[in-house]
Structure 1
Amino acid sequence: MAIREVCVLLLPLLALAYAEHVKFLDCGSEVGRVVLVDIHPCPKQPCQLHKGQSYAVNVTFNSEVSSQTSKAVVHGVIAGVPVPFPIPIEDGCECGISCPIQKQAIYNYVNQLPVKTEYPRLKLVVEWELRDDNNKDLFCIKFPVQIVS
């Protein structure tokens, strides 16, 4: 079994087992409904993200549409300005979701949020979207974080 397959199978289970529920704001989920957001590790809020580490983000959501694909788009919102935040895998179908996505099904989307060492120490809001075939948000969430050394 390839490493990528092991990660796809085990990462959602590990994320659920050790994750912390995070308060989030729905920022316009057009064709889905967010049930739960977990981040590991995040023992207190806002989540303190340490430079050079990576964090598991798990979003449980209900899809209101069918979709062949899904694509994640992540921004850090700093002083009201969205700045692209690169993630390792943009394809939601490689992040715990079995595609095609079925209408009225519940999914656990799991991805990594890497924090580069060159990021400045600051407080910001992470905006995470998962878009369907029609570029509509299956989910859109915002949650506060603080980048620390």
Structure 2
Amino acid sequence: MEIRLISICFSLFVLTHAEPVKFMDCGSAVGKVSIVDINPCPKQPCELRKGQSYSVNVTFNSNDESQTSRAVVHGVIAGVPIPFPIPIDDGCKSGIACPIQKDKSYSYVNQLPVKPEYPSIKLVVEWELRDDSGKDLFCIQFPVHITS
């Protein structure tokens, strides 16, 4: 009985634990990203189902000070960036205690909703978090596959 319980717990851990997402830096001018996690994303590229929302957590180090931060998200299809609305674009309301300080690590957390009307397609998500002068605290790109 005990071995069976341990086996079930281990299986649940494996199913819910995701590896950090492989990403590409696309111009983080005043910061450096260390980890990107998307939950749930058990395999890569992340498979995003229409009608669901996904947690995005970006751990980064700031190389600058900023009073504010604003997120801008695009879906890049055939090289063309298409705005991808998110519920909260204010980074200071997304896990970051503002003002942002130089040489400090932050964990930015937001939701990525996938609307039912989105097409089923493979694309690249480009996620930027800009400081109060418009410079990118981080700019990352990661591939996803939107499915039904």
TM-score (norm 2): 0.88
Contact 1:31–1:137 (CA under 8 A) maintained in structure 2: yes
Contact 1:20–1:41 (CA under 8 A) maintained in structure 2: no
Q: 2-side partners of 1:66 and 1:19: how far apart?
A: 32
Equivalent position of 2:9 in the other structure:
none
What is the total number of aligned residue pairs between the two structures?
133
Percent identical pairs in the alignment equals 75
Equivalent position of 1:80 in the other structure:
79
Question: What is the CA-CA distance between 1:20 and the residue it aligns to?
Answer: 3.5
Structure 1 pair 72/19, CA: closer, same or farther in 2 (3 Å)? Answer: farther
Matches within 5 A, 1:1-149: 18-149=17-148
Q: 2-side partners of 1:91 and 1:33: how far apart?
A: 19
Question: What is the CA-CA distance between 1:61 and the residue it aligns to?
Answer: 0.1
Which ranges of structure 1 fall in alignment gaps of 5 or more residues? 1-16
Which ranges of structure 2 fall in alignment gaps of 5 or more residues? 1-15
Structure 1 pair 90/19, CA: closer, same or farther in 2 (3 Å)? Answer: farther
Question: What is the CA-CA distance between 1:41 and the residue it aligns to?
Answer: 0.2
Q: 2-side partners of 1:130 and 1:20: how far apart?
A: 22
Q: Which amino acid aligns with 2:51?
A: G
Q: 2-side partners of 1:18 and 1:111: how far apart?
A: 18
Question: What is the RMSD computed on CA atoms of the aligned residues?
Answer: 1.0
Q: 1-side partners of 2:38 and 2:62: how far apart?
A: 21
TM-score (norm 1): 0.87
Moved over 4 A (4+): none
- Larger Cα Rg: Structure 1 or Structure 2? 2
Question: What is the CA-CA distance between 1:19 and the residue it aligns to?
Answer: 4.9
Contact 2:62–2:137 (CA under 8 A) maintained in structure 1: yes
Q: 2-side partners of 1:110 and 1:50: how far apart?
A: 20
Q: 1-side partners of 2:72 and 2:143: how far apart?
A: 17
Question: What is the CA-CA distance between 1:124 and the residue it aligns to?
Answer: 0.2
Q: 2-side partners of 1:62 and 1:130: how far apart?
A: 12
Equivalent position of 2:7 in the other structure:
none
